[in-house]
Structure 1
């Protein structure tokens, strides 16, 4: 079955206008639409897409730093939602937006690794053929490796920590907005993010908060 489509615009074009709808989206409504998607409801899929595409495209863009790649990853994520929601989504383990962002983060990380492998192959060939380009390419590879280390360290967090941090730092939400989106109290969200950031800092080797 083909992936249902919304209106004839790409994820990037629609991201800005769907932001307000995504922020106002209630987790219960998203969960209800996921249930309908699992039953093959194309209208529910379009509604779910409209309510969440800004989050998905935004997170993927921040990780990949490339709008075209982020667009591709976003479409892959929604294809996975359409084909696998019935098997893969468990409301006991994550909120709908948390599950969706986890899919996005993982696919974006995979794409970073794939792009890095291609860059490494091109670098190895280019360095042997055009030695004077080595320094420029090496600097770029070094930057990408730093970015990859960050996204790799995200995998060391618990699902709840990664979910909150993705919304706050990749999604650009305030702590209060994160609390509303995840249906948790503000103190709990602050603690979750603080503990997650300490864990990230330790993973990145930049110390801890003591």
Structure 2
């Protein structure tokens, strides 16, 4: 198995990256957020970040916090899996670019409040046949993720374009409700893409490993 990249802090968790980071056609990293920032400078309307923080207080998570939270979650799940007779899980992001520090992850964390280390952007696999049998899932293979990574990257990039247009409209009208509705639409759309990927990838499997990483209800 070849791993092009690993996050140093997450090596014990067996992070897997089957492909090197690439830039999609037409993807200009410097273009992220610029439209909204320029528009904000010329209006009297509340900044987008302020609107989001006001409506969703205490929801912002920094990249470092998100990464650390995922490290702790994987360690907890690994302990549970090992106690049940399995081996440490293999985890890999569907869109690796989303799990790199920079404008890409900032767009997700700050504008959408979507943690790229959570289940919507992560796939979890067994490390061996025994664990795969115990949890009725798949043993990791690079081809599983590489077939979906471009799909998710394309969707995220397209969502950013529509988000920038929504911000432009907000700075013309001040309609924050419409802006936040569009934000919610993007979040739901990304979650649906992940659900569809899981359905196709794990067809015929109960995939109990993935369930262990699902958000817990209080």
Report the TM-score when normalising by structure 2: 0.29
Higher relative contact order (CA 8 A, sep 6+): 2
More helix by share: 1
